[in-house]
Amino acid sequence: MSGNPGNSLRALSPTPPERGSFPLDHDNECIIQMQKYLNCMKLVGNENAPNCRLLAKEYLRCRMDHKLMDRDDWNHLGLPRDLEEESISRDKDEHYFGQGK
Q: Is the pTM of this model over 0.75?
A: no
Q: Is 10 a member of any domain?
A: no
CA–chain centroid gap for 63, Å, is 9
Q: Which pLDDT band holds residue 101 (cuts at 50, 70, 90)? A: very low
Q: What angle do CA 6, 7, 13 make, to 5 degrees?
A: 90
Over the stretch 49-88, which tens digit does the pLDDT of each residue have?
889 999 999 999 999 999 998 888 888 888 877 655 555 5
Domain that holds residue 47: 25-86
Question: What's the CA gap between 45 and 40, in Å, rounded?
Answer: 9
pLDDT, average across residues 6-14:
58
* Cβ neighbours of residue 70 closer than 8 Å, sequence gap 6 or more: 20, 22, 64
Q: Is 20 a member of any domain?
A: no
Interior/surface letters 77-90, b for 16+ CB within 10 angstroms, e for the rest: eebeeeeeeeeeee
Question: What's the CA gap between 71 and 96, in Å, rounded?
Answer: 24
Q: Is 43 a member of any domain?
A: yes
Q: Is 100 a member of any domain?
A: no
Number of domains composing the chain:
1
